[in-house]
A and B are shown apart, each in its own frame.
Chain A
Amino acid sequence: MSTEEDLLTMLRDRLPKDKVREVNITKWLNKFEIITDPENIRYVILALKGLGFNHLVAIETIDWLKKEPTFELIYYLASIERNGAMVLVRTKIPRDNPVIDSIHDILPFAYYQELENYEFFGITFRGHKGLKLWILEDNWDGPPPLRKDFDSVKYALEHYYKGLRYERGDSNE
């Protein structure tokens, strides 16, 4: 347990107060959680990379439409030299103007994770040169499908089934 607390104090010391809002240990699975503002994201990721957290696992977006009109981005960074310790960098951006700086020049794998978040949530990454539909290429002309205000059933019925529902076998009823 002491190594975790050491790491927590280290993170608190090394990350400047004006760039980072909070550094905590999450109550689930003892991961470190850093809450920051979207304009400092590049600084925080660079600082964490300098501290050994250079393994980007994923970038996730949560659409908090039911609570507040924001998108929350979570960057999962792991450190291999620190025995797989994991840091979650969380930041919130407004829902009507979802723009954030790209980090793909710091960690190359971010290029593809950002692409995925772009096509499923419509988040624009400033500085990312190849934003386009990637997995959904040539198959999709609707709004970003994982947003909470997107009704997938309605869209599918309108665009793929010509307004008809799937009928099971004989439809006697």
Chain B
Amino acid sequence: MKEVIVMNEEIELFFGPQHPGAPGNVGFKLKLKGERVLDVELIPGFLHRGFEKMMENRWWEVNVVLSSRYCVEDPDNMELGYVLAVDDLYGVEVPEKANHVRTVVAEMSRIQSHLFWIMFMGAGLGARYIPSWAMAAREEILKWYDYLTGHRIYHHYMVPGGIRWNVPQDFNERTLHTLNTVSKIVRDIEEAFITNKIVRERTEGVGVVKGSIAVELGVSGPTLRAAGIPYDIRKADPYASYGKVSFEVPVGSRGDSYDRIKIRVKEIYESIKIIEQLLPKINYEDKAYRLQLPTIPPNGEGLGRVEAARGEHLVHVVNLRSRYPYRVRIRPPSMPLLTTVLKYIVSNEEVTIADFPVIVKSLDPCAPDIDR
């Protein structure tokens, strides 16, 4: 395979949060022998804000504002996880219209996150011109969010019991217009960047996680699907309106970085398909979009499971008859990506220091949600 210069000395290198190859606010302690990475240890905690504790000191409905903030790139799936858990605690069925709109918003968030990741991946490979088009496509989605929810990054659009505002009358046309623009740019990116020979040579056969071992590493989402396991919570345990739409779950065969790139691009098309199916189902005459819930939920527990852009997002809430949650447990999707998966790759394969950023970025971790 590749030629690796090996010296006999082992050195430790801090691969820190400021490094352009680092995936956000995390550091790594790399053990190097020459160019080869022997061991990797994650150093989190640069962005710890204590969300689980903060949520215990705020009202149930106000926590929606916090719930989107631990992952910048994929805020709506995080919101949806919390909101589903609280709905479950109340034991209510939200109106159909709210479910449809929630699904549309969550899928837009997935597209937006994957587009952001294309730029992220390009930065890891040293290619910035073509991936920057993805940011232009993301800008279109952010404008769409501003139009629908009033904010660009953190939307706070979902509330326990439905959605916060009704959809505008021209929602259908506006959404289709945005999707058209986005899919055109994504197609160009696919032509110019994903099938590019240089990108393929750089990523093929690098960072292989394959087969059933991936399951035990605790990873889910696109990384697990690239490993050849067709597991998607949207199919396995349908929430919101995912039971009412048909879509495919793209699966990889080799489990390397290139497979993960391909799968994320395919997922963008699948998300567009989901939104296009749901738009005609939204009834504009229907006035029921939000249930007014009592301020104190019943005693008990609630669980929300969401397939976020990076994998399984799980929220567990416990109530002891109070306006404040007794306990909120958030399990965001990125933690296994940078701990077990990265350790597995490094111990199974000859990873050089040059490949390391490529592998890390192809896993698409969202560093803030490890710290919370």
Q: Which residues of A contact B (CB under 8 A)?
A: 26, 28-29, 31, 54-58, 60, 62-63, 66-67, 74, 76, 78, 80, 83-84, 86, 107-109, 111-113, 120, 134-139, 145-146, 152
Contacts and interface: CB of A to CB of B under 8 A. Distances in A.
B184 interface: no
B88 A28 contact: yes
B216 A54 contact: yes
B300 interface: yes
Contact of B329 (A60, A107, A145): A60
B215 interface: yes
- Chain A to chain B: the 9 pairs with minimum beta-carbon distance, closest first: A109-B218, A84-B236, A58-B331, A60-B329, A135-B45, A112-B339, A80-B231, A84-B237, A28-B88
Give the secondary structure class of A's interface: loop
Interface stretch (B47-55, B112-120, B147-155, B289-297): B47-55
Contacts of B371: 135
Contacts of A108: 216-218, 340, 344
Given A54-B215, A109-B218, A134-B44, A31 B303 contact: yes
A58 B327 contact: no
Nearest to B322: A66
Interface string B340-370: 1000100000000000000000000000001
Contacts of A67: 320
20 contacts: A26-B301, A28-B302, A29-B305, A57-B220, A57-B312, A60-B316, A62-B326, A76-B331, A84-B233, A84-B237, A107-B216, A108-B218, A109-B216, A109-B217, A109-B218, A120-B52, A135-B45, A135-B48, A139-B45, A145-B53
Contact of B303 (A28, A56, A66, A136): A28
A57 B221 CA distance: 12
A84 B305 CA distance: 11
B339 A58 contact: no
A109 B336 contact: yes
A127 B233 CA distance: 33
Interface in B229-243: 229, 231, 233, 236-237
A66 B319 CA distance: 12
